[in-house]
Amino acid sequence: MSDQTNNAPLRVGLLGLGTVGQGVLSILARNGASIAERAGRPITVTMAAVRDTAKSRGDLPEGLDITTDPMAVVNSDSVDVVVELMGGIETPEQFVRAALQAGKPVVTANKALLALRGEALFDLARQHNAPLAFEAAVAGGIPLIKALREGLAANVVSSIAGIINGTCNYILTQMDEAGTPFADVLAEAQRLGYAEADPSFDIDGIDAAHKLTLLASIAFGIPLSFDKVHCEGVGLVSVDDIRYAAELGYRIKHLGIARLNNGGVELRVHPTLLPKSELLANVNGVLNATVFGADAASPTGYFGPGAGGEATASAVLADVVDIARGASMPGLGGPAASDLAVLPIEDAVSGHYLRLRVADVPGVLTAISGILAQAQISIEAINQKEIANPGSDTNVVILTAPVQERTMRAAVEQMMALDSVRPGITRIRVEHTQ
């Protein structure tokens, strides 16, 4: 049971007072009483470090000590828990380290920091017996880390598949529903604030890879392996691909996937065809969703807001409540270090969607299907699309059964060597997540 005798408030210091920090304050102002009941004691924010004290931030709680010095928050005698909401790597890292070294629990929403520097930080947390909690770092307001570490504690997880970047999902949803090309949707998303001015972090899959790194280490007990994630961006998908996929009964989503395969772990982020009947195929807009395959309770899936001030603050406060209850799980929370290796992408196994632009000459389909047959890749569907004018190029769309990546790559290279196949074969993996 939690330490119910200690009813003194748990005092929180915020590093950063942007939308998430302000979300923490507004939720506590609104729901402080019920949060205190669940935590067994009141939660109060006593200090906040900001870059610019002159900036307007609406109503701040009375007595909140605002400073421009994050280290003053970390070292303050009136701060029991440090909540890091600064973003970046090196700058927050020093404050997280200092807090853990002082034995103070840390809550962070910083997926990049943990994915890149987490090994050392979790070591430090263990040494000083201080929780380093990070529910908000993956999938925003969805209690996904808690589900994986605690809800599925009795399971061996075999697969993770997630829509874990809202920007990519928004873009694909718009391309699907409005038929608008990628570049136009991206520009609109930037105008609406769903995508950054420099969107590469989101659309190239880096952000999803950070989150997948954390999930995979929890699920499989492997070291944090961001450098080993195979990453493909959402930009390789065209409106044609979305339409052709739909004709075959699929939708295209940008997924992070981690999966046990033959004694190793596949780690990959890429656009993916999913059967329309699957739950992940029906998650639209900026929503996030993740499905876990496991050996006892399977599949289980989780969806909700992956970003937003109050949604992310909800996850931050869930961690703070666990810390107040004495129920926070130490470390990453996965099984002990496993001997599973992260597999090179060449070893991954997937079905494939191929789109080739080919000249309208006899024998092209025969040549292409011959290459696949020779490589022993089963074809589940092959369609030659309508031609605008006799003699003009046409699209050939192929769906294959699961095959090892290296086999598919070799086959695609052979196809590209055909005279009648134009440069640039689109290749998108096909997965089943349920």
Q: Are 12 and 43 in contact (CB under 8 A)?
A: yes
DSSP, residue by residue, 101-140: HTT--EEE--HHHHHHHHHHHHHHHHHTT--EE-GGGSST
Asked if 283 touches a copy of itself (CB under 8 A), the answer is yes
Question: Helices in 236-284 by DSSP H: which ranges?
Answer: 239-247
**DSSP-based helix, strand, coil % in the chain, nearest 5:** 40, 25, 35
Asked if 282 touches a copy of itself (CB under 8 A), the answer is yes
Give the largest CA-CA distance in the chain: 83
- Judged by CB under 8 A, the number of residues near a copy of itself is 66
The interface region with a copy of itself, picked from 30-38, 76-84, 260-268, 377-385 by CB under 8 A, is: 30-38
- Report in angstroms how near the CB of residue 106 gets to a copy of itself at its nearest: 14
The interface region with a copy of itself, picked from 14-22, 83-91, 222-230, 287-295 by CB under 8 A, is: 287-295
- Tell me, rounded to whole angstroms, the distance of Cα 298 from its chain centroid: 20
Asked if 311 touches a copy of itself (CB under 8 A), the answer is yes
Single out the catalytic residue among 211, 228, 253, 385: 211
Give the side-chain half-sphere CA count within 13 A for 255: 29
Asked if 83 touches a copy of itself (CB under 8 A), the answer is no
Asked if 296 touches a copy of itself (CB under 8 A), the answer is yes
Q: Give whichever of 326 and 370 is closer to a copy of itself, judged by the CB atom.
A: 326
Please give the span between the terminal C-alpha atoms of the chain, in angstroms, as a whole number.
36
Q: Are 335 and 363 in contact (CB under 8 A)?
A: no
Asked if 277 touches a copy of itself (CB under 8 A), the answer is yes
Asked if 284 touches a copy of itself (CB under 8 A), the answer is yes
Establish whether 211 is a catalytic residue: yes
Q: Give whichever of 219 and 397 is closer to a copy of itself, judged by the CB atom.
A: 219
- Among 123, 184, 247, 295, which residue sits at the site for a copy of itself (rule: CB under 8 A)? 295
Q: Give whichever of 73 and 139 is closer to a copy of itself, judged by the CB atom.
A: 139
Under rule CB under 8 A, which residues in 322-341 are in contact with a copy of itself? Answer: 322, 325-330, 333, 335-336
Q: For every residue of 324-340, which 3-state class applies, written as one string?
A: HHCCCCCCCCCCCCCCC
Under rule CB under 8 A, which residues in 196-225 are in contact with a copy of itself? Answer: 221
What are the strands, taking DSSP E only, across 227-329? Answer: 230-231, 250-261, 264-275, 287-294, 300-305
Spatial CB neighbours of 319, under 8 Å, sequence gap ≥ 6? 107, 133, 134, 135, 136, 328
Q: Does residue 1 sit in helix, strand or coil?
A: coil
Which residues are annotated as catalytic?
Answer: 211
Site of interaction with a copy of itself (CB under 8 A): 1-2, 23, 27, 30-31, 33-35, 37-39, 129, 131, 135, 140-143, 146-147, 149-156, 221, 277, 279, 282-284, 289, 294-305, 310-311, 313-315, 317-318, 321-322, 325-330, 333, 335-336
